[in-house]
Structure 1
Amino acid sequence: MGMIGGVALLGIALWLGIDALVRGEGRTQWVALAALILIVPLVSAFTLRPAVYANEDRLRVRNPLRVIVLPWGQIAALRSGYSNEVVDKSGTKFQLWAVPVSLRARKKAARRSARSAAERSAAARGERSGRGGGGMGFGGLGFGAPRGDVDMDGPARAETDKVMDDLRELLEQREKLESSQGEVTVRWAYEVAGPVIAGAVLLAILLATA
């Protein structure tokens, strides 16, 4: 949904900006140009840019304004609360922008899990009733059978929580291997910061001299 919103915002910004560049006159065109230089990379950075890449040796986190590369051996924990974070062994925290926490999805998953547990309990009671006294209980007639849309292999989980589970599994498997050692590197996204700063400065000058 964040990416869809980002594309929509970019579409609106480009539509209004290009229209002002084509139809506007004088200062209007310069203001529209400065606004586009500021808004387009900024919106892209916070909606389309975030990503998390994981391989056998390291975790690469691409956040709006930074790129962090963490060998598995340098990761102390992967935490999930109101946001998903990776913590290196020095205690530095990095938020995973590409794996946002959805409290709504967690509540929905909890309801599915509770419903699944209730249906398993009902099925078990039906089976016990069907085995006793020669009569056929609800389990034997199929009324206690779990519904087909409920995962019987384990508790339901929100999608981003499943992603964090997968990353934790990789961490457990790879953190002690020699190929997973190294230094944590952090690089600022100058390709984003440069245009944003240039657009902000140009827009400030234009507004100040209006």
Structure 2
Amino acid sequence: MTSRQQPEYADRSFRSPLGIVGGLLLLGFAAWIGGDGLVNGEGRTPWITLASLLIAVPLVVAFTFRPVVYANEDRMRVRNPFRTIDLPWAAVADVRAGYSSEVLTQDGTRYQLWSVPVSLRERKRAARRQARAGSPGDPAAAPSAGADQTIADLRELAERCAARPGAQGAPRVRWAYEIIGPVAAGVILLVVLLVA
């Protein structure tokens, strides 16, 4: 370890594979419908299609590809659809999953973890497997639900690394202007086309 207290490992990332697959399908559908409107449309149709794509494509990217949680020994970076939250471990009070996954800071602020979806069905299945594993005929240990395991990993990192010198500081929030800008431009263009 160097004197600058670099993390022992690179960022771990937690994201939803089903979200990425859904995003690919939605982008393919938008390309198919939008391409037809741009190529075969008449009058204002290509412009309305372009404005609609300026709104739809960034929103699909924001809600499917963008959400991810990065974690190393100094901090957790939560990338949600419209903002990125940088949380040093010392600022994290708790990481938990109820009906959704969230991180709670020392000052009481809550941030959702969009990339760690909670599946109540998966949680019930894991509980049934754990109940069966506890029976005398099946000694194998059953795994917990995916979101619960991710939350447990993040909570363990927060507890273990909060005292590190590199894990000190206050949370920082940055808005995703790369998503907000094109959506706003598309909305303005669409309103101008529909009013004119």
**TM-score by structure 2 length?**
0.88
1:157 corresponds to 2:174: no
SS across alignment from 1:67:
strand
Q: Which runs of 5+ in 1 are unaligned?
A: 123-145
1:187 corresponds to 2:186: no
Residue-by-residue CA offset, 1:133-157 (whole Å, 9 max, x unaligned): xxxxxxxxxxxxx3xxx742xx530
Q: Which position in structure 2 is the counterpart of 1:45?
A: 62
Q: Distance in 1 between matches of 2:41 and 2:88?
A: 51
Q: Distance in 2 between matches of 1:44 and 1:151?
A: 40
Aligned-pair distance for 1:93? 0.5
* Greater fraction of residues in helix: 1
- Report sequence identity in percent: 55
For residue 166 of structure 1, the aligned residue among 140, 153, 164 is 153
Q: Distance in 1 between matches of 2:140 and 2:188?
A: 54
- When the two chains are superposed, the root-mean-square deviation of aligned CA atoms in Å is 1.2
Alignment of 1:35-74 (within 5 A): 35-74=52-91
Aligned-pair distance for 1:179? 1.7
SS across alignment from 2:134:
helix
Larger Rg: 1
Aligned-pair distance for 1:26? 2.0
Aligned-pair distance for 1:182? 1.1
Q: Which runs of 5+ in 2 are unaligned?
A: 1-17
Aligned-pair distance for 1:206? 1.5
**TM-score by structure 1 length?**
0.82
